[in-house]
Copies of this chain bind each other. A is one copy, B any other.
Amino acid sequence: MASAESVAQGNSSAGPESSGDLTPEQILAGYRLMVRARATDERCLSLQRQGRIGFYAPLMGQEAAQVGCALAVRPEDWMFPAYRELAVALTRGASLRSILDQLLGNSADLTKGRQMPNHFGFADQHFVTASSPIGTQITQAVGTAMAAQRRKDPIVTVAFFGDGATSSNDFHAGLNFAGVFRTPTIFFCQNNQWAISLPREKQTRSKTLAEKAEAYGFSGVVVDGTDLSVVYRAVRDARARAVAGDGPTLIEAQVYRLGPHSTSDDPKRYRTDAEVAQWKERDPLVRLRGELITAKLLDEATDQKIWDEARAEVVAVFAEAEKVPPMAPDSIFDDVFARPTPRLEEERHEAAGHSQSLGGPHG
């Protein structure tokens, strides 16, 4: 297994633009995105406790990995998220409003209230709508890369997944297909050390997750996922190799899930406060903030303003989103197929006869 740097050095085919590092402006923009994500996390956890959204899975601790990765790819690349990739969506340019509409499942939600919170998708951003089953996006990302190969489009696909997902069937099939067909795919594993209550070391006995790539004939790299620039460089280089026809890369970004698995989870049942405290010291936001201040790219006052604005934005946008009416009851019959079958039309008609039950939940 090569380190990110050594793989990067071995890469001769990366074009000039892709070999450039993040500019100070880009880093600052990245920081703002990370703050927006964190502010959203904090607010959503509290909204869930207030019963105003039904569920939430925070990404806190994984912001640098997500933003760093998303900054290193291009608009025409395709993202295949799991359910925690909120900062990727923001970095791709998805609007916070659209994300919050999805959390609410209201009638402005692009996914039409069909899915639990966190399962958003944005066709315009080539950000594929998430599903819950672990790992399934991995083979799909490889298939999209095969399609791009066939069309000779110089794009990459990025599959996002966690440490737990390395045990999934699709991880194995996806990486094997990618190796065999040398697809332009980046397997971006956020190893946040836990799969709900299962610690990384009980998930698999390999020393790193990255080294699993060797079993499929390509390279894996381990990067510090709390460092925006390190992640950026690893993804940038992997992208350059991929579009140059040099095949896929598995990137293991080592991070920590600072929050609960989701609002349904109580991490105190399975991990110690001490462990969490230790990783809190490596909070990617604290780290980047420190670096920016040291580099004089940021001062306390500006930082405060960034946070205040981010928090105010979430509050304001959520207030707007909350005003949006729910989906029309009979919308559940749309999109099963491109056009409803006679049976679905009949069921639509049947459902309309039960006005009472359409009144509200548990009617």
Contacts and interface: CB of A to CB of B under 8 A. Distances in A.
A117 interface: no
A216 B205 contact: yes
A354 B182 CA distance: 57
Contact of A207 (B167, B202, B207, B217): B217
Interface string A217-240: 110000000000000000000000
Interface residue tally on A, bucketed by range: 20 to 34
A280 to B, nearest CB: 28
A297 interface: no
Nearest to A170: B169
Interface stretch (A48-56, A91-99, A172-180, A251-259): A172-180
Copy number in the complex reads 2
Given A179-B206, A214-B211, A169 B167 contact: no
Interface string A104-132: 00000000000000000000000000000
B180 A203 contact: yes
Contact of A206 (B171, B172, B207, B217): B217
A215 interface: yes
A195 to B, nearest CB: 12
11 contacts: A169-B169, A171-B172, A172-B172, A179-B204, A179-B206, A180-B202, A180-B203, A204-B217, A205-B218, A206-B216, A206-B217
